[in-house]
């Protein structure tokens, strides 16, 4: 009996390595997010419509709602001259979500082993047409949705794992430590609509973790693993954007779940919660 193989369109390319992509330990999480976001733009150009045309002609934007980054093997600056990037895209839940899986590895294109996986779920929105690019959630229109083959359509919605991760940590032992650090959104952290680029959330979480370790690491040496060892995974759920010059705080906590360490970060301002991030070692 002949087996019909599922075919999902992808986009593959090489990216030269430079030192700004890495920490001493690994590919920077924020850079993994930026690579994944650029990979989405390349996929759109090759298989759907350019990001510019998506916004200007189809009045459709894509808002990142769910983020998952997994480090599957070491990937440091010394490991390769180039990164190999591959991204696949799908629609879910009747066009109410678009799901993206970006694989990043090192080495030759056909022999590269995946080192980092970035899973993003974006929510399509319909632009109102004003200069600030304000928008409301809306499924992809029939013309765009009709361009996806059956293999790239899933009927069920993606559910973020972040609420479950937070419940699991909160129901376990009390946190090792907590801290809060202020933030201000500068234009360098924004995208074209003068609201934060979603990758800035990863940077804010890292800043919150480092502040917590600086505040409590001398008293609680296990916290220092959050600086000494590479990150294993990051999950985030975004609920509300921050805008240019918004100020707020990152409320961070640390949990020891033998043998692993976990940090949570709640980004909030003026009584609003913007996002939650869970980092695990």
For the segment 247-277, what is each residue's pLDDT rounded down to a tens digit?
A: 999 999 999 987 889 999 999 998 899 999 9
Whether residues 181 and 65 share a domain: the answer is: no
Residue 50 inside a domain? The answer is: yes
Query: Before 228, cis peptide (omega within 30)?
Result: no
Whether residues 124 and 166 share a domain: the answer is: no
246: pLDDT strictly greater than 70: yes
What is the radius of gyration, based on Cα positions, of the chain? 19
The closest of 114, 124, 57 to 90, measured between CA atoms, is: 124
Please report, for residues 35, 68, 70, 255, 262, the alpha-carbon distance to residue 234 in angstroms, rounded to integers and kept in the order given. Answer: 15, 6, 7, 15, 10
Full domain range(s) for residue 147: 10-154
CATH number at residue 47: 3.10.129.10
Question: Average pLDDT, stretch 68-95?
Answer: 96
- Residue 7 has a pLDDT of 73
Whether residues 21 and 137 share a domain: the answer is: yes
Whether residues 222 and 185 share a domain: the answer is: yes
Scan for tokens 């890292």, then name that residue: 206
The closest of 99, 25, 112 to 64, measured between CA atoms, is: 99
Q: Is 173 helix (H, G, I), strand (E, B) or coil?
A: coil
Whether residues 92 and 177 share a domain: the answer is: no
- Residue 2 has a pLDDT of 46
Look at the chain and report how many structural domains it folds into: 2
DSSP letter (8 states) at residue 85? E
pTM: 0.94
Residue 39 and residue 102 in contact, taking contact as beta carbons nearer than 8 Å: yes
Query: 109 pLDDT band (50/70/90 cuts)?
Result: low
Whether residues 15 and 146 share a domain: the answer is: yes
Question: How many Cβ atoms sit within 10 Å of the Cβ of residue 153?
Answer: 14
Whether residues 144 and 16 share a domain: the answer is: yes
Whether residues 71 and 14 share a domain: the answer is: yes
Whether residues 17 and 121 share a domain: the answer is: yes
108: pLDDT strictly greater than 70: no
- Residue 161 has a pLDDT of 97
Question: Average pLDDT, stretch 181-203?
Answer: 96
Whether residues 93 and 207 share a domain: the answer is: no
């Amino acid at each position: 009996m002949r087996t019909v193989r599922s075919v999902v369109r992808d986009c593959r390319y090489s990216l030269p390595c430079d030192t700004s992509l890495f920490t001493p330990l690994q590919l920077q999480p924020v850079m993994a997010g930026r690579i994944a976001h650029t990979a989405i733009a390349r996929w759109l150009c090759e298989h759907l419509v350019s990001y510019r045309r998506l916004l200007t002609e189809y009045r459709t934007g894509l808002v990142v709602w769910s983020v998952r980054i997994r480090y599957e093997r070491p990937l440091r600056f010394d490991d390769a001259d180039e990164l190999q990037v591959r991204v696949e895209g799908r629609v879910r839940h009747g066009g109410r979500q678009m799901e993206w899986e970006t694989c990043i590895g090192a080495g030759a294109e056909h022999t590269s082993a995946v080192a980092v996986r970035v899973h993003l779920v974006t929510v399509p929105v319909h632009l109102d047409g004003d200069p600030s690019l304000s928008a409301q959630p809306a499924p992809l229109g029939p013309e765009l949705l009709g361009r996806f083959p059956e293999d790239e359509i899933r009927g069920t919605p993606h559910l973020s794992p972040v609420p479950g991760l937070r419940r699991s940590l909160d129901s376990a032992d009390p946190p090792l430590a907590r801290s809060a650090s202020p933030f201000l959104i500068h234009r360098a952290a924004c995208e074209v609509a003068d609201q934060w680029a979603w990758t800035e959330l990863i940077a804010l979480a890292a800043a919150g973790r480092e502040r917590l370790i600086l505040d409590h690491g001398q008293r609680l040496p296990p916290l220092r693993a959050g600086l000494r060892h590479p990150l294993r995974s990051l999950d985030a759920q975004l609920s509300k954007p921050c805008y240019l010059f918004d100020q707020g705080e990152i409320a961070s906590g640390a949990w020891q779940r033998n043998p692993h360490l976990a940090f949570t970060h709640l980004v909030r301002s003026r009584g609003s919660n913007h996002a939650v991030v869970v980092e695990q070692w």
